[in-house]
Amino acid sequence: MKRLGRYSGYNMQALRRDIIAGIIVGVVAIPLGMSFAIASGVNPEYGLYTVIIGGLLISLLGGSRFQIGGPTGAFVPILLGVVIQFGYQDLLLAGMMAGVLLVILGLLKLGSLIKFIPRPVVVGFTAGIAVIIFTGQIGNFTGIQAEQEEGFLQKMQALFAAVDTINVYSLIIAAVSLAAILLTPKLLPKVPGALIGLILSTVVAVLFFHGQVATIGSVYGDIPSQLPQLQLPAFTLDKIIYLLPSAIAIALLGGVESLLSATVADNMAKTKHHSNRELVGQGVANIAVPLFGGIPATGAIARTATNIRSNAYSPVSGVVHCAFVLIILLLFAPFASAIPLASMAPILMVVAWNMSERKEVAHIIRMRTFDSFILIVTFALTVLADLTVGVGCGLLLAFVVFVKRMSTVLFVKDEQIQVKETDGVRMWQFEGPLFFGSTDILEEVVEKTMEEEPDSLILDMQKVSYMDTSAEAALHKLVDHYEAADKQLLFLGVHGQPERLLHKTGLLAKVGEAYTVSKREEAVRICTS
């Protein structure tokens, strides 16, 4: 893959391709934008504002040629939690703060670091989010009138407590919508199933069950057929402090999802995105969206894939998709008030099912390795606690497992460190990383050497690719001991990162240039001369 100019070779044919793709993606984005907003605990129009403003800036400023931005399912648990705990206005501020953090991450060129999040953690929290989204729509699907709760267990308890309020008409409408969503791809492959499900079930509700089911209009009021006025969210230092954890979670999740989406686009279109530019573009979009009342936006994998499959040529398709949604908002917003909430629940449930990565979950669990455990812990904590706890604990476990595995790379004698004695010279041959995870082995080497105290000691570092300050401290202890005993100690083959570190700490200077050699024969000759 190579990084192509985002508008290279642009012409009228490319414009036609972008217009067609943009309209198709716009059709897909309208029901999803409203659905994700409702699932996040805010009015549906805020999702459309996010599609229009956030999608526009992500397409123009991002680092991916085909990225489509907007509200996504991954944000739902975090945003709903913020709305329940702090309210809609504070959600706007948290989104803006997340945007600032994303810009900072991009400017610091940290975009490439996000790809180092272990796969079991990504799969675990993605599956956890899917469960939260799916179960969060049970109430709208069945018409159960339960109290809105933040926690998963509390939400389930509230649903069971109110099970006697099931609305049969809501079930019928939801079933019609779900059937249309599932059957449309088979009967009309090029038509978005979510849109057909939304329209068909709404028509059935209006004709046969008018006034019998909750609608957007009855719950949220009419959707304004215009963009809101520009307004800066109110903020104070106290608000910034208590919203910072939520903002960090939004920024990190948005960064991960946007770069995952860009990677998917790269694989499909054989291009290469610019990760740091993508983060900056996402950040600017999330700074601007709250000014228009929108919720946080990120790269949407399904819509981005739809954009590519629709033969888009450049980011212009993303701009067209935003313009199309804006036109629909201005002309047809009043009609959206009649859409039943039961019509939108299956859309989110299908999204949750598709994003659950159930096959990948089953595959990793079947392996019965530490990765399986990491995935299960991340998934369980994401569902039962929250996304921040789930991802944090998953990363911590992955880090501990990584350190444990890496610590076994460094061995003594038959475990890749060999001891050779010739003419009173002892040579320790190190192979593998010397870092805090392997310092117990290194300390054993140091203690044994100091006890036996050979007249000359060679530390063979030719096969050491990495060293940290913990390992350097252990070696420093050995160097000090030999200096005090007025005996010879040589470094052999120090190169790369270890050499730079030992130069910075002054340890190579302490040993002396004459005792820092590159060839084994030279080291032995110095010790035996």
Q: What is the pLDDT of residues 154-189, one digit of tens each?
A: 889 999 999 999 999 999 999 999 999 999 999 998
Q: Which residues pair with 70 in a beta bridge?
A: 298
Q: Which residue do the tokens 């059935």 mark? A: 204
More confident residue, 312 or 112: 312
Q: Find how far residue 203's CA is from the centre of its chain.
A: 38
Domain covering 413-528 in this structure, CATH number: 3.30.750.24
- Given a cut of 70, whether residue 115 has pLDDT beyond it is no
Short-list 395, 340, 364, CA closest to 127: 364
Fill in the DSSP letter of residue 410: S
Short-list 438, 489, 506, 428, CA closest to 466: 438
Contacts of 311 (CB under 8 A, 6+ apart): 17, 20, 21
25, 321 contact by CB (below 8 A): yes
- Given a cut of 60, whether residue 135 has pLDDT beyond it is yes
Sheet with 456-463, strands from edge to edge, namely 418-422, 425-431, 456-463, 488-492, 516-517
Q: Which residues pair with 463 in a beta bridge?
A: 431
Per-residue confidence (pLDDT) for residue 226, from 0 to 100 = 86
The pLDDT tens digits for 71-91 are 998 888 899 989 999 999 999
Element of type H or E holding 359: helix 358-367
Q: Would you list the domain boundaries of the chain? A: 18-136+224-330, 413-528
Per-residue confidence (pLDDT) for residue 380, from 0 to 100 = 95
The Cα–Cα gap between 504 and 506 comes to 5
Token reading at 204: 């059935």
The Cα–Cα gap between 281 and 188 comes to 35
Using alpha carbons, list the distances in angstroms from residue 518 to 181, 457, 490, 491, 492.
68, 15, 10, 8, 5
Per-residue confidence (pLDDT) for residue 417, from 0 to 100 = 44
- Please list, residue by residue across 238-267, b when 16 or more beta carbons sit within 10 angstroms of its beta carbon and e when fewer do: ebeeebeebbebbbbbbbbbbbbbbbbbbe
pLDDT-derived band at 416, boundaries 50, 70, 90: very low
271, 62 contact by CB (below 8 A): no
What is the full DSSP assignment across 179-218?
Answer: HHHHHHHHH-TTS-HHHHHHHHHHHHHHHH-TTTS-BHHH
pLDDT-derived band at 2, boundaries 50, 70, 90: very low
Per-residue confidence (pLDDT) for residue 504, from 0 to 100 = 93
Q: Which residues pair with 146 in a beta bridge?
A: none
The Cα–Cα gap between 77 and 93 comes to 17
The Cα–Cα gap between 12 and 33 comes to 30
171, 143 contact by CB (below 8 A): yes
Q: Find how far residue 95's CA is from the centre of its chain.
A: 16
Four-residue CA torsion sign, 373, 246, 283, 70:
positive
135, 154 contact by CB (below 8 A): no
Element of type H or E holding 460: strand 456-463
Q: How many CB atoms lie within 10 A of CB 455?
A: 14
